[in-house]
Amino acid sequence: MYAKVIVDISNNELDRIFDYDVGELSLSAGDRVMVPFGQRRIEGYVIELNENSSCPPDKIKSVYSKLDDYPVITPEMLALMNFMIGNYHLRIIDVLRLFIPAQMRGGKVKALSRKFVYANPDAFGLIKPSAKMQLDAYNYVLAKGEVALSELNANCSAASVRNLIMRDILRVRDGEIMRTPYKNLEFSDNSVELTEAQSHAVSTVMNAKDKTFLLHGVTGSGKTEVYMHCIAAALALNKTAIMLVPEISLTPQIMAGFRARFGSKVALLHSGLSAGERFDEWRRLITGEASVAVGARSAIFAPLKNVGIIIIDEEHDGSYTSESNPRYVTSEVAEFRRKFNGCNLILGSATPSIESYYKAKNGEYELIELPERINKRPLPDIFVVNMIDEVYRGNNGVFSARLEAELHNCIEAGNQAMIFINRRGYSSYLMCRSCGYVAKCEQCDVSLVYHKEEDSLKCHYCGNRYKALTVCPNCGSEHIKRGYMGTETVAEALKQMFPGETVLRMDNDTTQGKDAHFEILRKFAEKKAKILVGTQMIAKGHDFPDVTLVGIVDADMSLHFADYRATERTYQLITQVAGRAGRNDKPGVVVLQTYSPNHYVYKYAVSGDYKKFFEKECNLREVTKFPPFTRIVRLLVSGENEIEVASVLKNVFERIKTLSDGDKRFVFLSYMWSPLKLIKNKRRAQVLMRVTPDYDRLPEIYAIADEYISGKVSIFVEVNPNNLS
Ligand code: ADP
Ligand code: ZN
Ligand code: ZN
C-alpha cells in the first residue's frame, strides 16, 4: 500500500504528491506523518492511500511514523482542498496549512500535561478523625471527583496532600488540561423572547434545506439573536455550527454571549489567542468535544463534522477576503461546505455587498429582512454638514460648528460620543476645498490617485495619467488639498475642546498588543471615558447603550478612494458607524461632515434606504462594466529586479492579449506598475482584466502565469480583489 503524501515545504517544485510505502503502519487519508525526504525528516500529509504507484519500487521510501491519534484533515477538508486548488490556483501545501493550527506543525505546541488527583475509594477510613487538614484535602478531592494537583495544593495543605498520596489514600495520574481562552469572561445568559420578525427569520431558515440566505437587518434589529437560535436548532439535531464575525467585532461582548448560551460547546478562534489556546480549541472541535466554532475568517476551516448551519455576520466586510497568499474568498468556501454538508448558510448584514444583494434579487440567495430595530427604536438622525460652507465661514478646523455643538450637548448630558475617522490604505486624492471637486478618470469614473513622486494623478484601473491639479477646473480656485487626516489630529483637537475629559483612541497604532483593543473597548464600555476616536475599527458590531452622538469627520475619505467599490464602502461605513448611536432608550444623533454633500451616497445613507441605493449603484456598475456585471482579474507580478518584473509583465500581457483576441467575454485589459510599486523591496506590477461573469478560461491564464513564475519573480492571480494597491 502506498501513501500519497504532500510534504510540508512551501515550494512550487515540491508542491506535488510523493509516494511512500505504508509498511506496517495503519494509516488513513488525512493523517499527518513523518517521512524521509532527501537527507531530512519532514512532516507531511497523507491525502490518499493507493495500491499503485508510478514510481520505480526501488526509489520508494517508507513512512517513518504517524504523528497524531486521528487524521487531522477530515474527508470534507480533503474535498475542500481540491476545490480551493482548482478555484484559486493555490499550492496544495498552502491550503493544507490553513486547515490546522500553525503551531501544531513541527510539534511547536503540545498538549499541556498535568498531574491529576483522585481519591482511593476504599481508603477513607484510613484518615484519623483528628487529622483535620488531611480530611479537608480528601473531601476537596471527593467533592470535585478529580482535581489538578496544582489546584489541590493551592487550596489545601500541601504537606497533607503529600502525605495522603504517599499512603495511597489519594492517587495521582497523568492527564491533560485544555487551555481555554477568555476563561474569565463574565457572562450572563440574557435570553430574550424573539420578536415576530426574528422568529419568522429563524423558522424560514429552519424549514429550509441546503440554501443560502441573505439576512438583511438594519443595525440593532437583533440579528445576533437570530443566529443563536439557528445554532441552537442545529445543535438540537446533533449537528454542529460555524459562525464567522469580522476579527474586530469579535468583542468580549459577543464571545461572552456565545459562552453564556452554549457553554463549553463553543470554541473561540481568534487571532489574539496564545498558541496553546488555539491548539486546544482546535482539538476540542476535531474531537467533537466542542460543536460550535466562533471566530474570524479562518474559522471557516473549523474541523467540524456534520455541520448544520454556517453563519457569516457582516458579510460585506472586507476582511472576509484573504489578500495575501493563500488567497481565497470566505463566502465561496462557505458555499462549498454548505453543499458538502447539505446545510444552510446565512449571510447577514445591515448593508449587504452589492454582489450579494444582486444574487438575492436574482434568486440565487433567499432574502430575509429585519426592517426595524428592536422595540421599534428609531434609527438615528443623520445631519449632513457641508464643509465647504465651514471653509467660507472661516472655520478651517477639524469640526464643524454643528458637530462641536452636538459634542458639548452630549458630554454635558453625561452621554458618550464616538468620533470616526475614515482612513484606509495608502490612497490620497486631490480635492478643491472651495467647491468639493475631485478629479476622476474620464473612462472609469473612479477617483484618481495622487502619486507624489511623479506629481501626477493616475487611474488605478486603466492606467490613464492626468496632470496634478493646481487650479480647480470646476471653479478656478487654487485652494486644493490632499485628502488625509489622522486619528491623532482629531484626538488632539478633542482634548483641547474638553480639557477635563479622557479621550480614547483606537487605530492600528494603539492596538498592537494582544488584548489592546479589548482594553480600549472595555474602558469605553465601563464609561471610563466619554469620547472614543477611531478608524474602521470602531464602526462595527459594538453595542454601547450610552452613545448618543456619532461624528463622522471626513466621510469622503473612502468615497474618493480609487476603487469601483468606493461608494458602496462609504455607504456601508456610514450606516455601520451611524448604527452605533441611540441603541438604547436615548435617541441618537449622527453628524456627517463632507465636501460633497450632494453625492447620492449621502442622500440614501441619510434616508437609510438601502434598496434605492442598491438600484442606483447597480445601474452605475452595469454602465461602467464593473462587478457584479463583470469580474475583475488582477495578475500581480513582483520581484526585486525592476527590469525582470517589467519584462515578465510585458510577456504575460502579450500572451493574455493573444488569448483574449476576439473573445467577446474579455471586456478590458491593461497593464501598469501597481499603485504601491514597491513593497518590502519588491517591485510590483499588474495586468488588469475585466471579464464577463461566465468567462471560463481562467485556468489558461493561471497556466500562463505559471510559466513565468521563477525564483526571481512571483505571480499571483486574484479575482475581484478587495484592494488594488
Ligand atoms: P444587530 O446585530 O442586528 O445590529 P443586535 O443583535 O446587536 O443587533 O441586537 C441589538 C440589541 O437588541 C441587543 O442589545 C440585543 O440584546 C437586543 N435584542 C435582540 N433581540 C431582542 C429581543 N427579541 N427582545 C429584546 N431585546 C433584543
Ligand atoms: Zn473648485
Ligand atoms: Zn480609468
pTM: 0.82
Calculate the alpha carbon distances from 369 to 217, 220, 331 in Å: 6, 13, 20
pLDDT digits (tens, 9 = 90+) for 67-77: 988 999 999 99
Average pLDDT of the residues in 191-196: 88
Average pLDDT of the residues in 101-130: 77
φ/ψ (deg, to 5) at 440: -125, 160
Cβ of residue 246 lying under 6 Å from some atom of ligand 1: no
Which of 135, 253, 292, 334 is closest to 545 using CA atoms?
253
For residue 308, what is its C-alpha cell? Answer: 448544520
> How far, in Å, is the centroid of ligand 3 from the Cα of 448?
8
At residue 400, the 3 state secondary structure works out as coil
> How far, in Å, is the centroid of ligand 3 from the Cα of 636?
18
Residue 561 above 70 pLDDT? no
Which of 477, 504, 492, 483 is closest to 399 using CA atoms?
492
Residue 664 burial class via C-beta count within 10 angstroms: exposed 0-12, middle 13-18, buried 19 and up: exposed
How is residue 193 annotated by DSSP? P
φ/ψ (deg, to 5) at 289: -65, -40
> How far, in Å, is the centroid of ligand 1 from the Cα of 375?
9
Cβ of residue 406 lying under 6 Å from some atom of ligand 1: no
At residue 593, the 3 state secondary structure works out as strand
Radius of gyration for the chain, computed over Cα atoms and rounded to the nearest angstrom: 29
Give the per-residue pLDDT at 566.
Answer: 85
Residue 601 above 80 pLDDT? yes
Q: Where are the alpha helices (DSSP H) in 174-317?
A: 196-206, 223-236, 252-262, 275-286
pLDDT digits (tens, 9 = 90+) for 270-304: 777 778 888 889 999 999 999 999 999 999 999 99
Average pLDDT of the residues in 79-105: 90
Could you tell which of 224, 261, 369, 377 is best to mutate to test the pocket of ligand 1, judged by most ligand atoms within 8 Å of the CB? 224
> How far, in Å, is the centroid of ligand 3 from the Cα of 566?
14
Give the per-residue pLDDT at 180.
Answer: 66
CB 571 within 8 A of CB 604: yes
Using the CB atoms, write b or e for 681-695: b if 16+ within 10 Å. Answer: ebbbbbbbbbbeeeb
**Bridge-based pairing state of the strands 112-119 and 170-177:** antiparallel
Residue 425 above 50 pLDDT? no
Strands (E), 448-557: 449-451, 456-458, 465-467, 480-482, 503-506, 531-534, 547-552
Residue with cell 487531522: 72
**Who has greater pLDDT, 570 or 339?**
339
> How far, in Å, is the centroid of ligand 3 from the Cα of 625?
12
Average pLDDT of the residues in 666-687: 81
Calculate the alpha carbon distances from 87 to 47, 154, 380, 697 in Å: 19, 55, 43, 12
CB atoms within 10 A of CB 76: 18
For residue 311, what is its C-alpha cell? Answer: 453563519
Cβ of residue 223 lying under 6 Å from some atom of ligand 1: yes
Q: Where are the alpha helices (DSSP H) in 370-426?
A: 387-392, 401-412
How many residues in the chain? 725
How far is it, in rounded angstroms, from Cα 242 to Cα 304? 8
CB 654 within 8 A of CB 671: no
CB 576 within 8 A of CB 616: no
> How far, in Å, is the centroid of ligand 1 from the Cα of 583?
9
Give the per-residue pLDDT at 238.
Answer: 96
> How far, in Å, is the centroid of ligand 3 from the Cα of 594?
24
> How far, in Å, is the centroid of ligand 3 from the Cα of 445?
7
Ligand 1 atom showing the smallest separation from residue 313 Cα: 2
Q: Look at ligand 1, atom 9, and give the residue with the nearest C-alpha.
A: 222
For residue 635, what is its C-alpha cell? Answer: 495578475
φ/ψ (deg, to 5) at 156: -130, 175
**Who has greater pLDDT, 516 or 568?**
568
**Bridge-based pairing state of the strands 480-482 and 430-432:** antiparallel
Cβ of residue 221 lying under 6 Å from some atom of ligand 1: yes
> How far, in Å, is the centroid of ligand 3 from the Cα of 440?
8
How far is it, in rounded angstroms, from Cα 419 to Cα 405? 14
For residue 404, what is its C-alpha cell? Answer: 462641536
Residue 154 above 70 pLDDT? yes
Average pLDDT of the residues in 170-195: 72
Give the per-residue pLDDT at 528.
Answer: 93
Cβ of residue 15 lying under 6 Å from some atom of ligand 1: no
Q: Which amino acid is at 540?
A: K
pLDDT bucket at 521, cuts 50 / 70 / 90: confident
Q: Look at ligand 1, atom 2, and give the residue with the nearest C-alpha.
A: 223
Residue 426 above 60 pLDDT? no
Could you tell which of 198, 202, 225, 542 is best to mutate to test the pocket of ligand 1, judged by most ligand atoms within 8 Å of the CB? 225
Could you tell which of 214, 373, 374 is best to mutate to test the pocket of ligand 1, judged by most ligand atoms within 8 Å of the CB? 374
Question: What's the whole-number average pLDDT of the chain?
Answer: 87
Residue 171 above 50 pLDDT? yes
How far is it, in rounded angstroms, from Cα 243 to Cα 528? 31
Give the per-residue pLDDT at 424.
Answer: 45
Largest separation between any pair of C-alpha atoms in the chain: 100
CB neighbour list of residue 206: distance below 8 Å, 6 or more residues apart? 230, 233
Residue 181 above 80 pLDDT? no
How far is it, in rounded angstroms, from Cα 501 to Cα 523? 13
Q: Look at ligand 1, atom 12, and give the residue with the nearest C-alpha.
A: 222
How far is it, in rounded angstroms, from Cα 540 to Cα 445? 29
Ligand 1 atom showing the smallest separation from residue 218 Cα: 3
Cβ of residue 543 lying under 6 Å from some atom of ligand 1: yes
34 dihedral zone (left: phi>0; alpha: psi -120 to 50; beta)? beta
Give the per-residue pLDDT at 638.
Answer: 92
φ/ψ (deg, to 5) at 236: -60, -25
**Ligand sitting nearest the alpha carbon of 431:** 2
Cβ of residue 224 lying under 6 Å from some atom of ligand 1: yes
Cβ of residue 374 lying under 6 Å from some atom of ligand 1: yes
Strands (E), 613-652: 631-639
The rounded Cα 461 to chain-centroid distance in angstroms is 26
Residue 510 above 80 pLDDT? no
Which of 672, 720, 660 is closest to 441 using CA atoms?
672
> How far, in Å, is the centroid of ligand 2 from the Cα of 593?
18
Give the per-residue pLDDT at 253.
Answer: 73
Q: Look at ligand 1, atom 15, and give the residue with the nearest C-alpha.
A: 222
Give the per-residue pLDDT at 12.
Answer: 76
Cβ of residue 219 lying under 6 Å from some atom of ligand 1: yes
Planar angle of CA 605, 246, 600, nearest 5 degrees: 15
Residue 184 above 60 pLDDT? no
CB neighbour list of residue 428: distance below 8 Å, 6 or more residues apart? 449, 450, 482, 483, 484
Q: Look at ligand 1, atom 23, and give the residue with the nearest C-alpha.
A: 194
CB atoms within 10 A of CB 332: 16
> How far, in Å, is the centroid of ligand 1 from the Cα of 719?
36
Q: Look at ligand 1, atom 19, and give the residue with the nearest C-alpha.
A: 222
Planar angle of CA 584, 588, 594, nearest 5 degrees: 145
Q: Look at ligand 1, atom 5, and give the residue with the nearest C-alpha.
A: 222
CB 570 within 8 A of CB 558: yes
CB neighbour list of residue 541: distance below 8 Å, 6 or more residues apart? 245, 246, 248, 249, 251, 254, 313, 314
> How far, in Å, is the centroid of ligand 1 from the Cα of 609?
21
Residue 427 above 50 pLDDT? no
Residue 454 above 80 pLDDT? no
Rounded to 10°, the helix 223-236/196-206 angle is 40
Q: Look at ligand 1, atom 16, and give the residue with the nearest C-alpha.
A: 222
Q: Look at ligand 1, atom 17, and give the residue with the nearest C-alpha.
A: 222
CB 33 within 8 A of CB 5: yes
CB neighbour list of residue 133: distance below 8 Å, 6 or more residues apart? 156, 157, 159, 160
Domains and their CATH numbers in the chain: 2-106 (3.40.1440.60), 196-375 (3.40.50.300), 381-425+486-621 (3.40.50.300), 427-484 (no CATH), 631-719 (3.30.70.600)
φ/ψ (deg, to 5) at 205: -70, -45
For residue 457, what is its C-alpha cell? Answer: 494623478
Residue 356 above 90 pLDDT? yes
Ligand 1 atom showing the smallest separation from residue 224 Cα: 6
Give the per-residue pLDDT at 484.
Answer: 57
